[in-house]
Structure 1
Amino acid sequence: MDKHQVIEAYRRGLITLQECGQILGAEKTQLDDLLRADHLRRSISKSPFMIADH
């Protein structure tokens, strides 16, 4: 199972944080970092263009 699919399953409430960690082989601090990084990656990919105003 892909790492992003596991994180998405956790976000949808299909698995617990502990189950997510077991599947990914990560501890809580690592999971926090993974979830934060995945959230940032998803936020950036949804809007690939940046608008700058002078």
Structure 2
Amino acid sequence: KTLIPYDFEAYKARNLIERCFNKLKHFRRIATRYDRRALYFLSFVQLACAMLWMR
């Protein structure tokens, strides 16, 4: 086996962001993109992030 060099800190941050997106996709409104306007979609994403943060 040959080890592929990678930046551990960057990978750690990437993993954290991917897990956050996975948690956001549990909100059906975000996963299916019900809102037609980008402003409404962004506002619900911010609301969902606040809900996840307060858990």
* TM-score normalised by the chain length of structure 2: 0.42
Q: Which has the larger radius of gyration?
A: 2
* TM-score normalised by the chain length of structure 1: 0.42
The structure carrying a bigger helix percent of its residues is: 2
